[in-house]
Chains A and B, each alone.
Chain A
């Protein structure tokens, strides 16, 4: 008996050796809210709560597996993953399937894949690997090479066109370069150039992208067209008030006024039913998640681990901020899901994979130091 208890104890310790419990509890907190909200959003139609719970279980397994892989091993995946990602993006550019006017998918016999999804992880992995490789001899030209590594996939995805994903990939890469020490004057110079080039960039945007930005400035110009999403989601949020309409009682949600309510616009559902208090709770959880991620990055033992942890953590921020900003009407509508809230298996697996990397970085640090 004593032996059995001891075996179980050792087994448990071994299994959870690479789990970062603060991070896990924060993520499970957000996931709990997310699954409840998916239930509310789909209770009248497709009943997705169990499916999303299943997705989460699979994603947790992925997280657990990844957390056990030491960062040094992860580094080995950087170059192959990046190269495969870029090749697939080129394949999409040449042979991709066009859906709703944009070429995002690649058919591989039985199923279709979206290579831009791979790039979300491959990009920070690749750049972190690159800076790690030249850590000792870092020169300004390395930043230029890094910028080139960033721009190729960015341009391929933006060309599809999928501006939302392109921005996420681009920002993930930029965070790595930023944390690697890109000089401030270059950052400020780039920002200034960006602002002055804005009118020129504007002409490069597709009509539907221009329309989204114009609609953001004044949604009422197109209340039944592209302004509809923003108008209905801001009505949902505003009508929620301080305390919300109560779980399962949001009229905007249950009378189908909110579009894509279990995916990109799930925040409107949550906000309508839980009000300002619910929003503060959710934003606090995201802040804790990001705080924990930044702590892990700060304590990481190698440059690769630091850069990767920092970029992944700011990636969560980017997703959350763009999504909530878009749903509440202060950012243009781009297809970005709300992390750990929006329904969707692939996105959830990618997110937990990222969490697994963070855990791996945190837990293997101690081993290295020993």
Chain B
């Protein structure tokens, strides 16, 4: 009977299958309900948080960057409000390209603006507005306002920009800010500031702007806004205002700085002036300078190329990155070392034949025939080389290097510039240990006692930054009480004006004997009255201690140095250190003029100008003249 079904057989089977289907339906719906319970009961908290995260965006409000003023309140770096034209890509009515093309018809938009916009766009989140043009003129703002209806998602906003009102003045001290790069982000992260930099697109790149980045930046505020899936902000839920960055009041004197920079004219070089009592830097010059305003909006490739490839290297801060042999400016410190270590008495004299023979090598004095009988005073005033050849030989390299190391030679001064102290050069304080580390071959690693001789006159391996030299001079002027040089006097809280002093205490007292110091002070005053600095300081209404110096760039191998026969780049560097007034110094300085020839010739006149202004308020006329006649003077 197989194959034959009665209708009732079929109906029973059909009803059984209906029952089976019903069971499947119930099982499937039970599975669904189970899924709902999982999502809506078990995982509810998780999904509620996800929904909240979805709908709420935190829009950072960037704080005002702190203002930098000089010691007298002259503004060196500030913020100004300017109109920018900004595009919020997620809200555009047409494509980005079309929008920008249409905008270009009413507002001047250069290819470089487009390039910059593209770059910013890649880095941005989609609900941010991104500037296509900065610093709109009033008429551009008006033109755009009239056509605003055509551009949904485009608006004019007032934004704060960094500005350095004095332009090039003190640019090497101030540094500049620029757009945050990958490297900056790492730095920000290391300082656990990442959250605070949401929304910030500029950070200090060099100088004070970089060193005090986390003081100047301030606390980012934020606005909690409800957003939709397209990233459009619908309404504000909560607003935490930002806290402005702290202001910096510098020890720097802007007027002094400006005068000093002018005094350099177009000569390359550096000057650092320090207040000996505090270590506060009064002027920090590195010439040539640059205009930090160029960097604020992102420097154009042309400007960057010009600054970076210029043969005079304006971007290098010579005050802390240039290491130069100190030349004869090293002599007062040698003399002090001799007194402190008991190697000489002030009156102990040598007979100077004009040279010093060591082994089979003759070390010559600049003055042919020598200076005759030379005691310590005369050795400084007339800058007698032979005296210091012999002294260096008597003291030995270890003693010299130990003494000089204490005054800060060969070590970073810790000036508050750049990121930590990474921007500062250490210079070279020669010693057998240094040489061993510096060279690889064993025969080069050995210290030869002949090498000690020229160390005594500040030549040889000696190389120090103008900052180190100024610090040593200030320490000498302050009778051995040493400060870390610093540019910021106070960090001023933007909210309540509370001042935090940056450098309240000296770092060490070298414990020099006053009678020894008096000998050096008297000798250095003598330099400016009857010695190598006398021409530059003729008629000064104050007593200044000083010392000229010349650093060899070019080894003459025994030939007589004739300035005019040597190319400018190979001319010697001129140096000068000074402090005044001698009985209670208010200012100590070190000047270096690259390829300036003799110290008395080009460095000392700049120092005179600086001291005249700082002590007497006397304003100079233009750049300091080179004193051609000083060429003949003793060095």
Q: Which residues of A does B touch, CB under 8 Å?
A: 135, 138-139, 175, 178-179, 181, 232, 234-242, 251-252, 255-257, 271, 275-276, 279-280, 283, 286-287, 290-291, 294, 297-298, 303, 306, 310, 314, 317, 321, 324-325, 328-330
Contact = CB atoms under 8 A, between A and B. Distances in A.
A276 B228 CA distance: 25
A237 B39 contact: yes
9 contacts: A135-B10, A235-B51, A238-B44, A241-B48, A251-B54, A276-B37, A283-B32, A325-B32, A330-B31
B30 to A, nearest CB: 9
Interface string B424-460: 0000000000000000000000000000000000000
Contact of A321 (B21, B28, B47): B28
B227 interface: yes
A287 B26 contact: yes
B44 A241 contact: yes
Q: Which 8 A-B pairs have the closest CB atoms?
A: A238-B47, A239-B51, A238-B39, A255-B228, A256-B229, A276-B40, A239-B47, A257-B229
Contacts of A283: 29, 32-33
B230 A256 contact: yes
B40 A241 contact: yes
Interface stretch (B12-20, B67-75, B566-574): B12-20
Given A238-B39, A242-B41, A255-B55, A303 B10 contact: yes
A257 B229 CA distance: 5
B41 A297 contact: no
B10 A310 contact: no
Contacts of B55: 251-252, 255, 257
Nearest to B26: A287
Q: Which of A235, A303, A310 has the most CB of B within 10 A?
A: A235
A232 B52 CA distance: 12
Contacts of A181: 10, 13-14, 17
B interface, size bucket? 35 or more
Q: Which of B26, B29, B39, B44 has the most CB of A within 10 A?
A: B39
A283 to B, nearest CB: 5
Given A242-B40, A251-B54, A321-B28, 4 more contacts: A179-B18, A236-B51, A238-B50, A241-B41
B22 interface: yes
Contacts of B15: 298
B558 interface: no
Contacts, number: 126
B149 interface: no
A294 B36 contact: no
Interface of B: 3, 5, 7, 10-11, 13-15, 17-18, 21-22, 25-26, 28-29, 31-33, 35-37, 39-41, 43-44, 46-48, 50-52, 54-55, 226-230, 234
Main SS class of interface, A? helix
B415 to A, nearest CB: 49
Nearest to A310: B18
B54 A238 contact: no
Contact of A179 (B7, B17, B32, B39): B17
A236 to B, nearest CB: 7
Nearest to B13: A181
Nearest to B50: A235
Given A179-B17, A283-B29, A235 B47 contact: yes
Contacts of B22: 290-291, 294
A229 B234 CA distance: 22
A286 B5 CA distance: 34
Nearest to A140: B3
Nearest to B29: A283
A240 B52 CA distance: 12
B37 to A, nearest CB: 7
B54 A298 contact: no
Nearest to A325: B32
A321 B24 CA distance: 11
A328 B10 contact: no
Contacts of B234: 255
A298 B11 CA distance: 8
Contacts of A252: 51, 54-55
Contact of A235 (B5, B25, B31, B54): B54
Contacts of B25: 287, 290, 314, 317
Contacts of A306: 11, 14
A260 B538 CA distance: 91
Given A235-B50, A239-B48, A276-B40, A294 B29 contact: no
Nearest to A303: B10
Q: Which of A135, A291, A321 has the most CB of B within 10 A?
A: A321
Contact of A275 (B26, B40, B51, B227): B40
Given A251-B54, A257-B54, A294-B22, A286 B228 contact: no
A341 B37 CA distance: 21
A135 B13 CA distance: 14
A255 B51 CA distance: 10
B347 to A, nearest CB: 87
B5 A138 contact: yes
A256 B227 CA distance: 10
